[in-house]
Structures are given as C-alpha cells and as structure tokens.
Amino acid sequence: MRRREFIKAALVVATFSPLGALAQPSRKIPRIGVLWHAGSAQDEGSNFPALLKGFSDLGYIDGRNIVLEHRFPNEVPAQFERMAAELAASGVDVLVAIGANAAPYAKAATKSIPVVFAIVPDPLGSNLVKSLARPEANVTGFSNSASDLVGKRLELLKELVPELSRVALLVNSNSHGQSAWQGCAGGDAVARR
C-alpha cells in the first residue's frame, strides 16, 4: 500500500510543480571584463557611470545578472598588457575596451573571447578591424570617427555652412588612432576651399 501512496504523491508533485524549474540548470551569470584607460573609476569621468547606466537601461545590473570586472591601467602600457591578459585568463565572457589605448591590448590578449571596443577614433587605422562593415575575427565595436567618414563629414559641413571657404583640423599625429586624418593634406589641414 505504501508503494501506491508514494506513486500518487510523486504524480501530484510532478503535476503541480513548475516543470521549467525542475528541468533547467541554474543560469551562469555573464562576466564582462572592462579595460579602461584611466587610473580609477573617478578618473574616467562620465564614461564610467555612463557604462553602468547603459547596462542598467538594458536590464543588466552589476552583481545581480551580470558581473563587471573593471581594470584601470592608468595609461601605463605594461599595465594595459598585464590587465588585458589577466581579464582574458580569468575567463570573462566578453572583454570591453574603452579608448584607443586599451583596444589594441584587449585584441592582443585573446583570439577567442569577444572584444568590444568603444571610444576609438579610427578602428581601421589602428588595425583593430579590417572593415567597419565586416570587422571579422573576435573584435568589434563602435567609433564616432573613422577615415571612411571624413569626406562625408566635410560634405555635410559645407551643406550646413555654404559660405565656408576653409576648414582646418589640428591633430596630434603621434597619438594612437589618429591615422584617419593623416591622409588628408598631411594630417593638419583637412580641406581648403
């Protein structure tokens, strides 16, 4: 008789229990490594809270449904290299590189972990990607400035200011990622009309 009671109880539990909870393993919380450029979250200025807000706006809260692992190399090349390698070795699911200096180190640290860069002036000139349309490999991101856009920006500027006769841009051609401008009249003057 106990066998029948046990089977009935098991059927009741199976019928009224949420099957999804019984069948699915617990979900792994994604770990995102973030390689910054400054020495601390405060030194990053508005970028640090903007990143947290961006994740939050998408429903991702650090410590609840994602884990953000921040590294601040303070613009020291050896620190960039060490911290990028450390994040990659720790098994993060994604490596985010903030800034033109951080991105090449993140790319060099891994060939398998997705690398997403931000605030990189010229991903093509920096050899982060082979094409903006098809970044290839494990590296992608976004840029607000690229050599492909220089001509279009000048065209739009001329439309906005028809009486424009000269345009100049001063850049530090020694800075990483400034090659977008170097093909334009020596890197100093973008256009003269």
Q: What is the DSSP letter of 28?
A: P
The full set of domains in the chain, from first to last, is 31-141 (3.40.50.2300), 147-192 (no CATH)
**Which pLDDT does position 71 carry in this prediction?**
98
How many C-beta atoms lie closer than 10 Å to residue 189's C-beta? 14
List for the chain the helix, strand, coil content (%; round to 5): 40, 15, 50
The model scores a pTM over 0.85: no
Structure tokens at 97: 């590189």
- Joined together, the tokens standing for residue 141 give 């991101």
Rounded distance, CA 147 to CA 180, Å? 4
HSE toward the beta carbon, residue 18, CA cutoff 13 A: 3
Low-confidence ranges of the chain (pLDDT < 70): 1-26, 144-148, 171-193
**pLDDT of amino acid 142:** 82
* C-alpha to C-alpha distance for 129 and 146, rounded to whole angstroms: 12
Q: Give me the pLDDT at residue 110, please.
A: 96
